[in-house]
Chain A
Amino acid sequence: MKKKNLLFSSATTVLAITISLVIALVIILCVSEQPGQAVTALLLGPLRSTRLIGSIFTTAIPICFTGLAVCLMFQASMFNMCAEGSFFLGALAAAAFATKVPLPGILGLAGPMLVGAAAGALLCLVPAWLKAKLNASEMVASLMLNYIALYLGLYVLNTYLRDQSFGALASEKLPDSSKLDKIIPGTSIHSGIFLAIFFIVLCFLLLYKTSLGHKIRTYGQNPRFTKYAGIKVGSVIILSQVLGGAIAGIGGSVEVMGMYERFQWTSLPGYGWDGVILAILARNKPQYVPLAAIFLSYLRVGASTMASNTDVPKELITVIQAIMIMLITATALLKGMKQKMVIKEALSSGTDS
């Protein structure tokens, strides 16, 4: 039965992906003068060069972090949307620390990351604390907080970090000791990928192998039972959100230290929302996050190649994403088929175990 459930949830995912791709193809056929080329670019484009293959991975790294962060928070059934703000603030805090307090060697990497983690954790703490103490809706609080994070960040950037000699609003250049090394020549893949893998393993162990993880998952499934079982509900809420925020914050610092010369985002980069998409695709299981991240970034890279070579804009990808998420979260999809199969099996075996 457990296997059957897994089969149906993966079948639902595959079906959702297929349907959304088919719809994308139909749209391409309708709007494009060169549909053949566009489709090929979308589906096979990312494999055309090492550089493009590399960018599949570099696109996957930041969303891996936010995906893990959201998994952790959603496992506790807390629909905290602060991963976006945490990622942004994490990146900013890391850049601020790296430019203001340049440290040599490994400290140049660890320092900014820890500060980024703290910034991310702090932001996610707010909705968690409001929920634990005042039972305020974490979703509303976190959505609003993202704007506060953005404008607070921009204020700090503009007032304290701005490089006056640079033409646009950006921080000063990160010192070399605070940059992640490129590890494969000819691609943009940086050593942040090891950190991403490390955190995937860490999140898996945390959720499934520790007492705290058990408490988080139990709380997510049934808060009343958690309380009854003598688990301190408030600390479970707060820890799960703080850890999620910290991971998103580290993700932000890894991104800015791996991909950029300086911090120069002036709007929310959207990785937190991608994290939500990944968590849904991975069904809140950290072990599936890398798979989902690579899939999503493959599509993104495909869409970029399509946009630069044909007349189809890359925004098409958002259509695909939207349909995909809608269908995956539509729990009724395939439910009828599952029920029929269950009935057929029961009628044929004739038992009532």
Chain B
Amino acid sequence: MTDHEQVTPILEMRQISKVYGNGVYANQQVSLSVNRGEIHALVGENGAGKSTLMKILFGMEKPDQGEIVLEGKTVTFRSPQDAIARGIGMVHQHFKLVDSLSVTENVTMGYEPVKRGFIDRKTAKEKVSKIAELFELQDELDTATGKLPVGIKQKVEIIKALYRGAQILILDEPTAVLTPQETEELFDQLMKLKSRGYTVIFISHKLREVKQISNRISIMRQGKMIDTVDTDGITEQEISSRMVGTNYSKNLAKKAAEPKEVLLQVKNLTAVGMNKKEVVNNVSFSVRAGEITGIAGVEGNGQNELIQMITGLRKIDRGSVCIMGRDTGKLSIQELRELGMSYIPSDRMEDGLAVSMSIGENLISTKLKDRRLYRHHLLSKKKIRDMANQLVRDYRIKCDSQETPVSMLSGGNMQKVVVAREFTQQARLIIAEQPTRGIDVGAAKFIHEELIRLRDENCAVLLVTADLEELYQLSDNILVMYDGRFSAYFPNPDQVSETELGNYMLGVKIQSETEIGRGCHEEEKPAI
């Protein structure tokens, strides 16, 4: 793309500002110009304002200042319908599909062709089929969407946008849910769309992908637009430092693990789901003191149910969990916590915090038995404040005071509140589920360092993550989960490439039971 000067932008967002109810700028005088027929990457850390900017473009949020110019005309979008009518389509991170409906029904929903007052299914299918050919999906049109794998669902979302007449396609972190193989496939299709004259806006914070696919890159940081550059003229390192603001080293200092006694022992664990299907199927493994065991896998392959059973949030259908040598079957969550289990849940807003309550109140929620918080048998405001202030300082939680409601904090700082609470209760076994999802690089690095520090202090850490970079950086050994079972165990992460790991994540390859059984860390062969 050397002829940018002659190309008129198809879309311009000028001086867009958006302030959220808590007074935080999501976007501050952001301008973005996108050319016709390019793949334009929008990069930035979590919380940099990328998604907000795109929600404004798609009519989901109203800007407080600024204007949108589409093909030379100023437009105002009051709703996504307005944006769709103007040829803008968006594929969200979380798909908006009805699982029980077929692909055709999902694609045409709300925009069905009508004949004599009734939905014209034949025309609908023909129209969808034409677009689906592009994605080699024409044979799946009658399949219920719920039965399709994530990668295909995403294609259905793209087809839906195109069916509605999108010329500009916004993809919000499309690769976050994909395996390396699916990502490659998506990129091929995006190139095809580009060659047909479609414009793609691609939100991501995976710089390697951005380098690979985009023509130009716009970099955002803390709600502001930093720069827009040609992809060919910038290195990954340069993008990264401009995203974060400083020259940031992602490298973690980590010495070799020295595993000791087994602290978590899972044996033949099974969870039966709503449809009588085993969502976790006869799973055995162990985690030892002084090591981090990582569980990799495409989301929805039973990791969540597995963790819920270990942490006592879900009933164990079959099998057993032993923590510190004690069978947890009859123990309450409180007793598990007293044994030294601590848990960073994947959904911090729903499970990990009461966001309308203050930082201090959230911090003491698991420590109500601690007499040091009381004075004359009553909770002492001063003692709570002192304890909370100490944690706010130690964990570098950015806030006005410990009385600030958690909802006012950024995602990274919310997660630090969870971590501060969970890491300060004599933890011996730490279950960390997607511990850095959706938070900024600084907070993520802090949490990674804390996890390694605790490992070195002889804690056992079980890490579940969809972020392969995190998995490789932290794990001392890796288990791969596929369809409710383990498909592989790697005693050393260096032994396996990301592509190879992807094969196990998709169930293309599965190790022998003996190989997987090594995850139990027993001398003799585990009973199967």
Contact = CB atoms under 8 A, between A and B. Distances in A.
Contacts of A346: 19, 23-25
Interface stretch (A86-94, A121-129, A147-155, A211-219): A211-219
B364 A232 contact: no
Interface string A181-221: 00000000000000000000000010011110011011001
Given A1-B400, A214-B368, A228-B333, A222 B355 contact: yes
A221 B28 CA distance: 32
Contact of B351 (A215, A224, A339): A224
B405 interface: yes
Given A231-B334, A231-B365, A221 B378 contact: no
Contacts of B365: 214, 218, 225-226, 229, 231
B64 interface: yes
Contacts of A214: 361, 364-365, 368, 379
A240 to B, nearest CB: 15
A32 to B, nearest CB: 44
Contact of A352 (B24, B350, B368, B369): B24
A145 B132 CA distance: 58
Q: Range of interface residues on chain A?
A: 20 to 34
B332 A352 contact: no
Interface string B175-209: 00000000000000000000000000000000000
B379 A339 contact: no
A345 B23 contact: yes
Contacts of B368: 211, 214-215, 231
A342 to B, nearest CB: 5
Nearest to A345: B23
B403 interface: yes
B378 A225 contact: no
A1 B364 CA distance: 22
A217 B64 CA distance: 35
A168 interface: no
B434 interface: no
Contact of A347 (B19, B222, B400): B19
Given A221-B354, A222-B355, A228-B352, A210 B361 contact: no
B354 A1 contact: no
A345 B22 CA distance: 11
Interface in A305-353: 338-339, 342-343, 345-347, 352-353
B511 interface: no
B424 interface: no
A2 interface: yes
Contacts of A347: 17, 19, 64-65
A222 B364 contact: no
B378 A209 contact: yes
B354 A353 contact: no
B117 interface: no
Interface string A1-25: 1100000000000000000000000
Contacts of B216: none
Name the residue in B356, B357, B369 with the highest tally of chain A Cβ atoms < 10 Å from its Cβ: B357
A338 B378 contact: no
B404 interface: yes
A57 B217 CA distance: 70
A91 B159 CA distance: 67
Name the residue in A210, A338, A345, A352 with the highest tally of chain B Cβ atoms < 10 Å from its Cβ: A352
Contacts of B355: 221-222
A345 B440 CA distance: 26
B353 interface: yes
Contacts of B64: 343, 347
Given A227-B313, A231-B365, A352 B357 contact: no
A210 B345 CA distance: 27
Contact of A230 (B334, B378, B379): B334
Nearest to A223: B354
A346 B313 CA distance: 41
A217 B368 CA distance: 13
A205 B357 contact: no
Given A210-B379, A224-B351, A232 B357 contact: no
A1 B353 contact: no
B32 interface: no
Contacts of B366: 229-230
Nearest to A340: B64
Given A1-B23, A1-B400, A218-B365, A225 B353 contact: yes
A221 B351 contact: no
A222 B313 CA distance: 15
Contacts of B17: 347
Contacts of A231: 334, 365, 368
A228 B357 contact: no
B351 A225 contact: yes
B379 A352 contact: no
Contacts of A225: 350-354, 365
B150 interface: no
Nearest to B380: A209
A228 to B, nearest CB: 5
B431 to A, nearest CB: 11
Name the residue in A211, A226, A342 with the highest tally of chain B Cβ atoms < 10 Å from its Cβ: A211
B354 A222 contact: yes
Contacts of B400: 1
B114 to A, nearest CB: 36
B408 interface: yes
B379 A208 contact: yes
Interface string B382-422: 00000000000000000010011100100000000000000
A35 to B, nearest CB: 42
A192 to B, nearest CB: 26
B160 interface: no
Nearest to A205: B378
A353 B28 CA distance: 12
B455 interface: no
Contacts of B65: 347
Given A217-B357, A218-B357, A228 B23 contact: no
B44 interface: no
Interface string B309-345: 0010100000000000000000011111100000101
Contacts of B350: 222, 224-225
A339 B21 contact: yes
Contacts of A211: 368-369, 379
Contacts of B223: 352
Interface in B114-151: none
17 contacts: A1-B22, A2-B405, A211-B368, A211-B379, A214-B365, A217-B361, A218-B361, A221-B354, A222-B355, A225-B351, A226-B365, A228-B333, A229-B365, A229-B366, A230-B333, A231-B368, A346-B19
In the A-B complex, the 6 residue pairs with the smallest Cβ-Cβ separation, listed nearest first, are A230-B334, A352-B25, A209-B378, A221-B354, A230-B333, A222-B354
Given A228-B352, A230-B335, A230-B337, 19 more contacts: A1-B23, A2-B405, A205-B378, A208-B379, A209-B378, A211-B369, A214-B379, A221-B357, A222-B353, A227-B333, A228-B333, A229-B333, A229-B366, A230-B336, A338-B21, A342-B21, A345-B23, A346-B23, A352-B28
